[in-house]
Amino acid sequence: MTSGPSLRVAVSAFAVLALLGVSACDGDSADNESDTESKEGNQDTAEQDPPDDPLPEPAFDDDETVSLPIGLVSPPGYDWEIYESDDEYRPDQPHSHQVARTNMFGCQDYISVMQTVPIVTEDPTTSALEYLLAMDTSQHGDPAFLNPLASSGLEVTGAEHDGDVVTVSLTGSAGSTSICQSWQILKQIEATARAATGAPEAEVLLDEAPLSAQLGLEETSPLTIQNLD
């Protein structure tokens, strides 16, 4: 398994070339209340039940390398149908291959599951989460995808896949500055863990307590993740 420190160095080395990232917290209020209040209320209606056919876990290539799934927040006004998985590969953005996308959540955001260049690891789930948390750039590519986790101080202490649920254990600080960012951070981690294991549900713990509760978020049904391949 790729060690945490070495992985963080590798990520920092080409984070500028990585993935893609920016999203706005634009939430329309159906009740004409304040933006923040309406965005909090939109979460329940945006969520859906787990898909019947979840993403398969990443497959190893013949050379024993594997591409890691990484969840980033889709750009504002993003039309996912024009960024399907058969888009032309761009050498200047080696992690720009989108393989899946969630339904809407939080502040009218989506998570795009991107695929990294192949790496060597015996534990794709932990490596994918470490990779995500080690990225220190908040915006990636064009159109820009957002990585609000860049400002967090979270570290992975474990990841366990048992049946339909993958449990992610973290330590540190989420560093969220708004309700919109809290939803983005939580769903980035959940989508990455689910895509790395094929699990339909994810539980994220920060120092053994649910991250959602610590961020002041209500429990919701898992997002649907649409496979583009």
0.75 surpassed by pTM: no
**How would residue 89 be classed by pLDDT, with cut points 50, 70 and 90?**
very low
Mean pLDDT score, 23-38? 41
**How would residue 62 be classed by pLDDT, with cut points 50, 70 and 90?**
confident
Determine how β-strand 165-173 pairs with β-strand 201-206. parallel
pLDDT of res. 79: 55
Residues 119-134: tens digit of each pLDDT = 899 999 999 999 999 9
pLDDT of res. 49: 47
DSSP string across 24-40: ------TTS--HHHHHH
pLDDT of res. 227: 83
Mean pLDDT score, 206-227? 94
2 vs 59 pLDDT, higher one: 59
User: Looking at the predicted structure, is the pLDDT value of residue 37 above 70?
Assistant: no
E runs forming strands in the chain: 65-66, 69-73, 97-102, 111-115, 119-120, 139-140, 145-146, 153-162, 165-173, 201-206, 209-210, 225-227
pLDDT of res. 78: 62
pLDDT, the chain, mean:
76
Mean pLDDT score, 36-54? 45
- Neighbouring-strand partners of residue 72: 112
**How would residue 229 be classed by pLDDT, with cut points 50, 70 and 90?**
low
For the chain, how many structural domains are there in total?
1
Q: What are phi and psi of 106, to 5 degrees?
A: 50, -115
227 vs 222 pLDDT, higher one: 222
3-state secondary structure of 156: strand
Type and span of the H or E element at 189 = helix 179-197
- Give the domain extent around 40: 4-227
Residues 161-184: tens digit of each pLDDT = 999 999 999 999 998 999 999 999
